[in-house]
């Protein structure tokens, strides 16, 4: 807000000075002097915006991630956050099928840093009176869905069913 106040103050000062110069100008030159003073006021109005544009233009196009991290932080923090968030989303996806999840294990390829394998542990619960026939199995399309969602090959999505909820 202070920037706008300073800008308005400088434009007002230039306008007052230009009007004083215009009053002192001889009558036969008033038209020419007014034209030049209008250009000066226009420059005073546009100058801050021109400075902002030149600052943005001179910045590097690519943002360097490390410049935004606290000192001593490496990009491994973001991979850990990504894995934690992916784990939560996979758990939520399995739970949307009406199944409890006892664990999700994500393995990362060391060479590429991408997910290479997902192991989901689902406890097999005994059928109760309100059971809809869920025996702990997931439809085959679930593997495909999870593969498309995470980018892991369908053959690397492992679903383990544990007896007794273990």
* Cβ-contact 101, 94 below 8 angstroms: yes
d(CA 20, CA 148): 72
pLDDT per residue as tens digits for the range 118-135: 888 888 765 444 443 344
φ and ψ at residue 91, rounded to 5 degrees: -60, -45
pLDDT per residue as tens digits for the range 8-36: 898 999 999 999 999 999 999 999 999 99
d(CA 120, CA 152): 13
Shared-domain flag, residues 159 and 81: yes
Shared-domain flag, residues 82 and 133: yes
66 lies in some domain: no
Task: Residue 17: give the domain boundaries.
Answer: 2-58
Q: What is the mean pLDDT of residues 97-103?
A: 81
Indicate whether this model's pTM tops 0.75.
Answer: no
**CATH number of the CATH domain containing 88:** 3.30.300.30
SS3 content of the chain, % helix, strand, coil (to 5): 55, 15, 30
30 lies in some domain: yes
| Residue 25 CB neighbour total at 10 angstroms | 16
Structural domains counted in the chain: 2
């Amino acid at each position: 807000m202070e920037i706008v106040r300073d800008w308005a103050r400088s434009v007002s000062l230039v306008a007052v000075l230009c009007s004083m110069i215009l009053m002192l100008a001889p009558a036969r030159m008033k038209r020419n002097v007014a034209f030049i003073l209008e250009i000066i006021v226009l420059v005073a109005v546009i100058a801050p915006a021109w400075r902002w544009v030149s600052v943005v233009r001179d910045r590097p196009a690519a943002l360097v991630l490390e410049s935004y991290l606290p000192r001593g932080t490496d990009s491994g923090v973001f991979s850990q956050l990504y894995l934690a968030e992916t784990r939560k989303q996979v758990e939520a996806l399995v739970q949307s099928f009406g199944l409890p999840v006892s664990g999700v294990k994500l393995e990362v390829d060391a060479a590429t840093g991408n997910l290479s394998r997902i192991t989901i542990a689902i406890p097999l619960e005994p059928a109760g009176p309100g059971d809809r026939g869920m025996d702990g199995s997931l439809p085959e399309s679930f593997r495909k869905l999870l593969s498309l969602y995470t980018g892991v090959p369908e053959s690397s999505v492992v679903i383990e069913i544990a007896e007794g909820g273990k």
